[in-house]
């Protein structure tokens, strides 16, 4: 049992203001595996006050970028010592197969830190620019202020680091609010930060539910909100930040299309979609969940995906052999099973899988890997983000209609094309309205390149230079006027 009784507030371990506890339940055994305090509004007030004071004092914000980089290089070393523990906790709290926790969740987090350190080293923090007047201006980048960062349960550690690393490198003070379903790994992150020793007030980590999150977002002393989660919550948060004219970045849901061309290698496609569609038991925002297949080879595409899904090892996430674990909660399992039942009711064909519990697993929040055929892009399973191991195969007639179907979505997070003709693949990439896109590539994310969504998939970009910029304000400093001799 993982237990902690204090919250990390402004760089200190403090007793929580109330006795509220977050009980973490294993999605595999359905038993309580962790008990940690939940933050209340008083804890948020204390964290924001500490963050505000530290930012305004300049003890971190006005240190040179080189000094901040040097401190975060120490974080890189301290982090590397706890990676095994972090992977095990992520598997325990949210049911990700242990191999995915070890090879994806935690490395993604540590590589984000390393990549953002490189970005900060290459960044021009104080540029000299000759203006239209001919005078030399200074264009200075400064931290945006106090940041509220809110993360979901599906990639808990990675999303915290995606916000923490650039915010600290920019000189911001930050309050992280992890999701109540997966708070355990965040306590270890707080222990690592404590060891590194940032100035008082600069970092707080306060897990809690949606009310706590919304209180933090609306807090008048918060300058910027960095949110990752559902589009539904993103709209509410965007509304609050718009009203208060707060800086905001939103990383939201997706319903990405994998466009299969007639010349695609189907073995490569099936292997690619095993990751791009089913990774993390399908709980990935950038998952390629609409597979667009040409009518001429529709059946072959369905067969290749059915073979892939049928061979997936579903079960205990602590087993090294497991490829698909349980979903994070009974609520999420019910939601995904509801979508599957709804797909059948709307007339889609279940090619493999279905709405029931996998026969070999009596307990745990499992869903069978499911492939739907005969799907039209108007069906609910093609329009809504399901967030489980469910793919819908949609037929198309020609390239133009494939691009039209790919773009016929409220979302625009990611997409892929599968073809032997790479130039044709790049031309299609230019026409699909998404923030990332891959040609025969299941992974559309690189830590030094921007990541984010078009349309209802979000606002702004994380990672890379663009990700660092979103934690910076830009100031132009004019020189004194030239004195006429
Ligand atoms: P969620 O929106 O329910 O919750 C996400 C976080 O926001 C949690 O910490 C929650 O407590 C908090 N929250 C919820 N409502 C809030 C509000 N009104 N004000 C402040 N905080 C609030 O999402 P979830 O179910 O935890 O996560 C799954 C969703 O996250 C999916 O839609 C997925 O696509 C999305 N996601 C997006 C990305 C991306 O980079 N685009 C990455 C991972 C997950």
pTM of the model: 0.97
Q: Are 302 and 373 in contact (CB under 8 A)?
A: yes
Cα(407)–Cα(433) distance, rounded to whole angstroms? 6
Average predicted confidence (pLDDT) for the chain: 97
Catalytic residue, chosen from 93, 181, 251, 462, is 251
Ligand 1 nearest atom to the CA of residue 229, by list position: 30
Over residues 433-444, the mean pLDDT reads 95
Summarize pLDDT for 141-164 with one digit per residue, the tens. 999 999 999 999 999 999 999 999
Positive/negative CA dihedral, 13, 176, 465, 65? negative
Provide the pLDDT for residue 485. Answer: 57
Question: Does the C-beta of 228 come closer than 6 Å to ligand 1?
Answer: yes
CA–centroid distance, residue 178 to ligand 1 (Å):
10
In the chain, % of residues over pLDDT 90: 97
CA–centroid distance, residue 238 to ligand 1 (Å):
13
Over residues 16-25, the mean pLDDT reads 96
Question: Does the C-beta of 462 come closer than 6 Å to ligand 1?
Answer: no
Judge whether 251 counts as a catalytic residue: yes
Catalytic residue, chosen from 88, 181, 241, 285, is 285
DSSP string of 6-32, one letter each residue: -EEETTEEE--SS--EEEEE-TTT-SE
Judge whether 285 counts as a catalytic residue: yes
Beta carbons within 8 Å of 236's beta carbon, 6+ residues apart? 214
CA–centroid distance, residue 465 to ligand 1 (Å):
24
Identify the helix (H) or strand (E) that includes residue 113: helix 106-122
Question: Does the C-beta of 95 come closer than 6 Å to ligand 1?
Answer: no
CATH class of 2-252+457-476: alpha beta
* Low-confidence winner among 30-44, 296-310, 353-367 (lowest mean pLDDT): 353-367
In the chain, % of residues over pLDDT 70: 100
Beta carbons within 8 Å of 331's beta carbon, 6+ residues apart? none
Domain boundaries along the sequence of the chain: 2-252+457-476, 256-439
Pick the CATH number of 256-439 from 3.40.309.10, 3.30.450.40, 3.30.2290.10, 3.30.830.10: 3.40.309.10
**Could you tell me the maximum CA-CA distance found in the chain, to the nearest angstrom?**
91
Identify the helix (H) or strand (E) that includes residue 256: strand 256-260
Over residues 271-276, the mean pLDDT reads 97
Provide the pLDDT for residue 359. Answer: 86
Question: Among 58, 272, 316, which residue's Cα sits nearest to residue 173?
Answer: 58
Ligand 1, atom 21: closest residue by C-alpha: 213
Question: Does the C-beta of 450 come closer than 6 Å to ligand 1?
Answer: no
Confidence of residue 411 (pLDDT cuts 50, 70, 90): very high
135: DSSP letter: P
What is the CA angle 172-173-177, rounded to 5? 120
């Amino acid at each position: 049992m993982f237990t902690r009784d204090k919250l990390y507030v402004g760089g200190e371990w403090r007793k929580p203001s109330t006795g509220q506890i977050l009980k973490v339940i294993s999605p595999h055994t359905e038993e309580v595996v962790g008990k940690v305090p939940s933050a209340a509004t008083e804890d948020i007030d204390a964290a924001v006050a500490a963050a505000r004071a530290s930012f305004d004092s300049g003890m971190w914000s006005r240190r040179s970028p080189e000094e901040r980089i040097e401190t975060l290089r120490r974080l890189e070393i301290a982090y590397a010592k706890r990676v095994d523990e972090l992977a095990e906790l992520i598997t325990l709290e949210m049911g990700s197969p242990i191999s995915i926790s070890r090879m994806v969740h935690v490395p993604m987090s540590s590589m984000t830190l390393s990549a953002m350190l490189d970005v900060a080293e290459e960044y021009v923090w104080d540029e000299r620019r000759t203006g239209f007047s001919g005078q030399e201006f200074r264009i200075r980048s400064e931290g945006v202020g106090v940041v509220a960062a809110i993360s979901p349960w599906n990639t808990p550690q990675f999303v915290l680091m995606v916000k923490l690393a650039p915010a600290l490198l920019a000189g911001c003070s930050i309050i992280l609010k992890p999701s109540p379903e997966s708070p355990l790994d965040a306590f270890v992150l707080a222990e690592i930060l404590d060891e590194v020793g940032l100035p008082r007030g600069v970092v707080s980590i306060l897990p809690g539910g949606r009310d706590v999150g919304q209180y933090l977002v609306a807090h008048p002393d918060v300058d910027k909100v960095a949110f990752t989660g559902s589009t539904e919550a993103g709209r509410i948060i965007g509304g609050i930040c718009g009203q208060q004219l707060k800086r905001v970045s939103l990383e939201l849901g997706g319903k990405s299309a994998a466009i299969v061309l007639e010349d695609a290698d189907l073995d490569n496609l099936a292997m690619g979609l095993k990751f791009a569609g089913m990774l993390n038991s399908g709980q990935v925002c950038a998952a390629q969940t609409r597979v667009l297949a040409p009518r001429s080879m529709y059946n072959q595409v369905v067969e290749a995906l059915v073979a892939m899904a049928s061979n997936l090892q579903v079960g205990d996430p602590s087993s090294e052999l497991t490829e698909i674990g349980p979903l994070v909660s009974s609520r999420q399992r019910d939601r995904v099973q509801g979508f599957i039942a709804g797909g059948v009711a709307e007339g889609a064909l279940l090619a493999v899988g279905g709405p029931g519990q996998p026969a070999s697993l009596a307990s745990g929040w499992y869903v069978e890997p499911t492939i739907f055929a005969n799907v039209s892009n108007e069906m609910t399973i093609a329009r809504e983000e399901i967030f489980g191991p469910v793919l819908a195969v949609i037929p198309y007639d020609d390239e133009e209609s494939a691009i039209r179907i790919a773009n016929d979505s409220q979302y625009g997070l990611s997409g892929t094309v599968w073809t032997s003709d790479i130039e044709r693949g790049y031309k299609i990439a230019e026409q699909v309205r998404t923030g990332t896109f891959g040609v025969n590539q299941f992974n559309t994310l690189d830590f030094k390149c921007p990541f984010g969504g078009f349309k209802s998939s979000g606002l702004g970009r994380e990672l890379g230079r663009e990700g660092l910029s979103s934690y910076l304000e830009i100031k132009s400093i004019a020189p004194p006027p030239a004195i006429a001799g």
